[in-house]
């Protein structure tokens, strides 16, 4: 398709082109969706010709370079053996260029986290299920899978080993300094926007801090003294000992005296009073207290009662156990009695409700009977018909009246009267 002109060719009579032919092609379902429809394979010949021309130009350039070297007297000795390093480097460079030219845009330049066939996979270094976790999606194992092996003898120590190497610690210190400065409302450049200035200010801050600390230390030493105690006597460092100790190349003790057990600040193996056992040789699980193992007492500095006190304590514990069992049985008995009384109360209440319901129904029947015997004509009414009668109204009578009363605003009133 040609680019649209600003003014038509029929007006300017310039740049006359042939008419574009629009072909009407009748295709079937598959032909319309064929991605290679209308493709001319001869067009790709241009790409091949371009590649061949580039290759010819490279060869000419290389031949020209070799001729220049031969003319300068540098290429005589290099051609005697195998091909020179420059030629091999040139070939590798050409191969890399060819690969880069033929590479598709969708193909990644490099693939990360791939291993060669001969190297052992991370998850096969330690088959224990409780060892370091391996993430199959990212192919990462952050912890050390073989911590029992000497660091110098193992090839892989986890991904965190690499993460904590290099300038990672310096970067962490720089981030911490920036965070503290922000908390103290100090004006510092942003670490991500201006990292060089931030690092320079951090170095200046560290140098000022070290100078201030050294100055303060010198002031204290000049006022109170004590500088002679900081200097180590070289004779002390060169003292000899009869103790034989053997070390390996990294400074670990291989053969020698056993390490001394750390001493506690509390007195150990000290007998108190007349106790043949030390304090802490017995622990009462019920009271959660320490005591003496000889008499099972949990009171510090108490008089030792010996085996008799131990028997008395065990007997008292047995008595308390027996008493607790009896109390438990008594509580269960009371609970059963209370449950029985509650059931009886529920039963009596249910009976009262049933009796009250029967009375309500009886009063409703009596009222229905009165309504049927009601005489609307006043001439036929009895002599004592207007007397009050029984004034006391029971709850059952009131309930029967409420049930029989028809409310005009009730939407179901008509339905009830008809039924």
pLDDT-derived band at 98, boundaries 50, 70, 90: very low
More confident: 353 or 387: 353
Mean pLDDT of 297-305: 89
Average pLDDT over residues 335-339: 90
Region of poorest pLDDT, from 48-52, 297-301, 328-332, 349-353:
349-353
Map tokens 């990644």 to a residue. Answer: 108
Share of the chain above pLDDT 70, in %: 81
Q: What is the mean pLDDT of residues 91-116?
A: 51
Please, which pLDDT band fits residue 380 given cuts at 50, 70 and 90?
Answer: low
| Residue 101, pLDDT score | 43
Over residues 234-254, the pLDDT tens digits come to 777 777 778 888 888 887 888
Q: What pLDDT band is residue 373 in, cutting at 50, 70 and 90?
A: low
pLDDT in tens, 145-201: 988 888 888 888 888 887 777 788 888 899 998 888 888 888 888 888 888 898 999
Question: Are the C-beta atoms of 296 and 285 separated by less than 8 Å?
Answer: no
pLDDT at 255 over 70: yes
Beta bridge partners of 283: 290
Per-residue confidence band for 113, with pLDDT thresholds at 50, 70 and 90: low
Cα gap 197→205, rounded to integer Å: 12
Q: What 3 state SS string does the chain have?
A: CCCCCCCCHHHHCCCCCCCCCCCCCCCCHHHHCCCCCCCCHHHHHHHHHHHHHHHHHHHHHHHHHHHHHHHHCCCCCCCCCCCCHHHHHHHHHHHHHHHHHHCCCCCCCCCCCCCCCCCCCHHHCCCCCCCCCCECCCCECCCCCCCCCCCCCCCCCCHHHHHCCCCHHHHHHHHHHHHHHHHCCCCCCCCCCCHHHHHHHHHHHHHHHHHHHHHHHHHHHHHHCCHHHCCCCHHHHCCCCCCCCEECCCCCEEECCCCCCCCCCCCCCCCCCCCCCCEEEEEECCCCEEEECCCCCCCCCCCCCHHHHHHHHHHHHHHHHHHHHHHHHHHHHHHHHHHHHHHHHHHHHHHHHHHHHHHHHHHHHHHHHHHHCCCCCHHHCCCCCCCCCCCCCCHHHHHHHHHHCCCCCCCCHHHHHHC
| Mean pLDDT, residues 346-373 taken together | 80
More confident: 291 or 25: 291
pLDDT tier at 209 (50, 70, 90 boundaries)?
very high
**Dist CA 398 CA 360 (whole Å):** 8
Give the dihedral sign, CA 101/106/108/114. Answer: negative
pLDDT score for 217: 93
For 247, phi then psi, to 5°, come to: -115, 160
Categorize the per-residue pLDDT at 216 as very low, low, confident or very high, splitting at 50, 70 and 90: very high
Name the residue among 398, 406, 408 with its Cα closest to residue 364.
398
What is residue 142's predicted lDDT score, i.e. its pLDDT?
87
The pLDDT value given to residue 332: 92
């Amino acid at each position: 398709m040609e680019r649209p002109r600003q003014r038509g060719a029929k007006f300017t009579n310039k740049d006359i082109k042939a008419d574009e032919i629009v072909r009407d092609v009748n295709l079937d379902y598959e032909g319309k969706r064929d991605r290679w429809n209308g493709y001319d394979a001869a067009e790709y010949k241009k790409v091949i010709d371009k590649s061949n021309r580039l290759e010819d130009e490279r060869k000419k350039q290389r031949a020209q370079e070799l001729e220049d070297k031969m003319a300068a007297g540098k290429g005589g000795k290099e051609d005697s053996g195998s091909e020179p390093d420059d030629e091999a480097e040139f070939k590798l460079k050409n191969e890399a260029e060819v690969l880069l030219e033929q590479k598709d845009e969708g193909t990644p330049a490099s693939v990360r986290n791939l291993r060669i066939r001969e190297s052992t996979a991370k998850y096969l270094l330690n088959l224990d299920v409780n060892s370091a976790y391996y993430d199959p999606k990212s192919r990462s194992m952050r912890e050390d899978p073989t911590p029992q092996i000497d660091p110098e003898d193992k090839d892989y120590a986890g991904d965190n080993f690499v993460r904590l190497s290099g300038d990672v610690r310096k970067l962490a210190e720089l981030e911490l300094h920036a965070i503290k400065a922000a908390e103290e409302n100090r004006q510092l450049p942003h670490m991500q926007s201006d990292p060089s200035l931030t690092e320079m200010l951090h170095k200046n801050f560290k140098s000022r801090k070290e100078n201030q600390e050294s100055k303060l230390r010198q002031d204290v030493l000049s006022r109170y003294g004590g500088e002679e105690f900081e200097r180590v006597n070289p004779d002390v460092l060169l003292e000899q000992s009869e103790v034989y100790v053997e070390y390996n190349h990294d400074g670990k003790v291989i053969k020698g005296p056993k390490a001394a057990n750390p001493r506690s600040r509390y007195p150990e193996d000290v007998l108190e009073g007349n106790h043949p056992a030390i304090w802490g040789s017995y622990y009462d699980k019920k009271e959660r207290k320490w005591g003496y193992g000889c008499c099972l007492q949990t009171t510090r500095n108490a008089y030792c009662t010996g085996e008799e006190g131990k028997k008395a304590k065990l007997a008292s514990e047995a008595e308390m156990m027996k008493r607790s069992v009896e109390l438990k049985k008594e509580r269960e008995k009371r609970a059963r009695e209370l449950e029985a009384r509650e059931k009886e109360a529920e039963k009596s209440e249910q009976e009262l409700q049933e009796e009250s319901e029967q009375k309500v129904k009886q009063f409703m029947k009596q009222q229905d009977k009165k309504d049927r015997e009601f005489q609307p004509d006043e001439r036929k009414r009895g002599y004592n018909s207007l007397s009050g009668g029984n004034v006391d109204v029971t709850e059952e009578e009131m309930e029967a009246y409420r049930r029989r009363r028809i409310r005009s605003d009730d939407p179901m009133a008509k339905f009830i009267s008809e039924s």
